[in-house]
Amino acid sequence: MSERSSYAPGTPCWVDLSAPDLDAAVEFYGGLFGWEAPVQENAEQTGGYRQALLRGQPVAGLMPLMQEGQPVAWSTYVSVADADVATAHVSEGGGTVIVEPMDVLELGRMAVFLDPTGAAFGVWQPGTFHGAGLVNEPGALAWNELTTRDTATAKEFYGRLFGWTFEEVEMEGLSNAYISIQLGGASVGGMVDVSGRIPDEVPAHWVVYFAVEDADASVSRIEGLGGSKAFGPMDTPAGRLAVALDPAGAEFAVIALSDQALESAA
């Protein structure tokens, strides 16, 4: 089922991009995924933040850089019942608060953190807005994956914060098992140990995956729109995927979901 009207606490529910040139980002992702991202009526109150729409449903956020030094990157937000309580737990668990809990109009309440391994993520306490209205279909969010060099610390931190449990999955091409993030018996994300696999200067981070019909065709489209391929496409049990960079350097992934992945997400 691709339409969503709610997310259980502990479930990744939203992603957004901080971009140095918002209009260029809208053009790139619109050309790639078919998104529309009109200027919103409350743009002055939200710093120019836009919702990307697919079939009239919100699927991602796009915003200009809000402060000096802010990275050009996609961010993952996890739904919570109380952003203030989550913030206290982050501090107690060894994380760092980057943005204190704040109301976003009547839409909800948010906060942004670094986990103890250095990966940035956010939480979203829904008000009138619950998160992505479509998932797991071409052009919509399909997966959220933590790449880190310290999976033991990440497991302890996120397990206490969100109630996640973790299941190791052997996967061809990985020296260490892939880690499936579980919530209430369902898989809600993944984690991978990237020690020795990516340059040391690249910090731990969450990777955002968008579903596509054809990963190979999408890579060609990305390159034609001014982006670049980081690696792939490659086949996995979840589907054929590739990691790419948009023209401003923000990393994201595309995946043509396998039948098995679609069945497990239904």
Residues 72-89 pLDDT 10s: 999 999 999 999 999 999
Question: What mean pLDDT is predicted for residues 141-154?
Answer: 97
Taking residues 201-214, report their average pLDDT. 95
CA distance 250 to 196: 21
pLDDT of residue 25: 97
Pair 148, 119: CB distance under 8 Å: yes
The predicted pLDDT at position 174 comes to: 59
pLDDT tops 60 at residue 160: yes
Check if the beta carbon of residue 2 is closer than 8 Å to that of residue 135. yes
* Average pLDDT value for residue range 12-18: 98
For residues 46-53, average pLDDT: 90
Average pLDDT over all residues of the chain: 93
pLDDT score recorded for residue 176: 73
* Cα separations in angstroms, 99 against 83, 102, 107: 11, 8, 17
**Token pair of 40 as six digits:** 């919103």
Distance CA 192, CA 122 (A): 19
User: Which domains, from first to last, does the chain contain?
Assistant: 12-126 (3.10.180.10), 141-265 (3.10.180.10)
The encoded tokens of residue 97 equal 């608060």
pLDDT in tens, 226-251: 999 999 899 998 999 999 999 999 99
Q: Are strands 120-126 and 73-79 parallel, antiparallel or unpaired?
A: parallel
pLDDT value of residue 260: 75
Whole-number pLDDT of residue 108: 97
Rounded mean pLDDT, 124-141: 97
DSSP SS3 for 67: coil
Predicted TM-score (pTM) of the model is 0.95
- Of 178, 189, 140, 121, nearest to 29 by C-alpha is 140
Q: What is the pLDDT of residue 262?
A: 73
Percent of the chain at pLDDT exceeding 70: 96
Give me the residues paired with residue 115 across strands.
none
What is the average per-residue pLDDT within 116-138? 97
> Is pLDDT of 215 > 70?
yes
Say yes or no to pLDDT of 266 above 60. Answer: no
pLDDT band at 264 (very low <50, low <70, confident <90, very high): low
Selected residue with higher pLDDT from 177 and 139: 139
E-strand ranges in 65-185 read 73-79, 96-104, 108-114, 120-126, 141-148, 165-169, 178-183
* Pairwise CA distance, residues 140 & 108, whole Å: 21
Q: What is the pLDDT of residue 39?
A: 85
Position with higher pLDDT, 198 vs 263: 198
Q: What is the pLDDT of residue 46?
A: 76
Q: Which helix (H) or strand (E) holds 202?
A: none
Is the confidence at residue 156, as pLDDT, over 70? yes
Other Cβ atoms within 10 Å of 177 Cβ, number: 14
Q: Which residue has the higher pLDDT, 260 or 168?
A: 168
Instruction: Return contacts of 87-91, CB within 8 angstroms, 24+ apart.
Output: 87/111, 87/113, 87/123, 89/160, 89/161, 90/161
Rounded Cα distance, 252 and 231, in Å: 11
**Which residues of the chain form beta strands (DSSP E)?**
12-19, 50-54, 57-64, 73-79, 96-104, 108-114, 120-126, 141-148, 165-169, 178-183, 186-193, 205-211, 228-236, 239-245, 251-257
Alpha carbon distance, N-terminus to C-terminus of the chain: 5
